[in-house]
């Protein structure tokens, strides 16, 4: 077994083991109950994002109640979790979060994460009328402010809102459109396709998973930011302006 054999037995790892997202499409052929039981029986300590949290909890309670999973097995995971949460090098007696040092590390990580997959029309040029549109109320606000741009928020837009975004893009020199996991949102896909159809310079900036690029094969400029927190948006703006490498 990978966890109880290789990881615990051979490599002597006794830390917490956490699953990837249990709502992943790769698990769609398995029942919610089977996913929970198989993961715990395999030696996992924490179940990340089960499709139905109350059902996952009840499944585990029922399994312990009928003896399918022992209390000892649950205690092993609880011990690891509690030890990790209180391990001195991780958690000092007086935790301090958000220091200037922490902020610097976060900003550096965000800056190094921005990936220009298709350079196209980048960097933005001084004096251009830039439009920022797309997903994220605070994301589009922060990005527009950082770029000195006009903002038109669409979210997951209706056809009427898409038409308004197209009109705004036609009046701009260049448009930056933010997407967030557009692979699962057809309205965001339609927005980007409509903007590209204007023939104006369009920059697609993915602020969630980078996989949106598969849905916009004709986009000449595509940047993956991997996040929409202010620190990531600041780093994204720096790359778009050409002030930072990607």
Average pLDDT over residues 90-118: 88
Q: Where are the beta strands (DSSP E) in 119-231?
A: 130-134, 150-153, 174-179, 202-206, 222-224
Segment 42-64, tens digit of pLDDT: 999 999 999 999 999 999 999 99
**How far apart (Å, rounded) are the C-alpha atoms in residues 48 and 70?**
21
**Paired sense of beta strands 222-224 and 115-118, if any:** antiparallel
What's the whole-number average pLDDT of the chain?
Answer: 95
Average pLDDT over residues 186-201: 98
Whether residue 80 is predicted with pLDDT greater than 90 in this model: the reply is: yes
Whether residue 137 is predicted with pLDDT greater than 70 in this model: the reply is: yes
**Paired sense of beta strands 202-206 and 174-179, if any:** parallel
Phi and psi dihedrals of 104, rounded to 5? -65, -40
Of 14, 228, 19, the residue nearest 136 (C-alpha)? 228
CB contact at 8 A, 22 and 51: yes
Segment 199-221, tens digit of pLDDT: 999 999 999 999 999 999 999 99
Q: CA torsion sign, 95 to 100 to 105 to 111?
A: positive
Say how far residue 191 (Cα) sits from the centre of its chain: 20
In this prediction the pTM is: 0.73
The fraction of the chain above a pLDDT of 90, given in percent, is: 91
Q: What is the pLDDT of residue 91?
A: 65
Q: Which residue has the tokens 């040092």?
A: 101
Q: What is the pLDDT of residue 90?
A: 65
Phi and psi dihedrals of 7, rounded to 5? -70, -50
Q: Which residue has the tokens 């029986």?
A: 41
């Amino acid at each position: 077994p990978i966890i109880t054999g290789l990881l615990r037995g051979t490599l002597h790892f006794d830390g917490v083991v956490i699953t990837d997202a249990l709502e992943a499409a790769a698990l769609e052929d398995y029942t919610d109950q089977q996913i929970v039981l198989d993961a715990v029986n395999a030696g996992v300590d924490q179940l990340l994002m089960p499709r139905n949290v109350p059902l996952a909890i009840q499944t585990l309670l029922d399994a312990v109640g009928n003896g399918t999973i022992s209390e000892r097995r649950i205690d092993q995971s609880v011990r690891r979790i509690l030890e990790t949460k209180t391990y001195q090098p991780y958690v000092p007696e007086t935790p301090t979060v958000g220091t200037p040092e922490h902020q610097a590390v976060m900003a550096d990580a965000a800056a190094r994460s921005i990936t220009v997959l298709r350079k196209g029309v980048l960097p933005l040029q001084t004096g251009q009328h830039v439009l920022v549109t797309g997903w994220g109320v605070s994301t589009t606000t922060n990005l527009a402010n950082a770029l000195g741009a006009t903002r038109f928020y669409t979210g997951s837009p209706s056809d009427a809102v898409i038409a308004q975004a197209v009109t705004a893009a036609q009046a701009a020199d260049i448009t930056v459109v933010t997407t967030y996991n557009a692979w699962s949102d057809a309205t965001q896909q339609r927005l980007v396709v409509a903007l590209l159809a204007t023939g104006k310079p369009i920059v697609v900036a993915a602020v969630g998973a980078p996989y949106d690029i598969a849905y916009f094969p004709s986009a000449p400029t595509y940047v993956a930011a991997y996040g929409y927190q202010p620190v990531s948006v600041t780093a994204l703006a720096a790359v778009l302006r050409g002030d930072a490498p990607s």
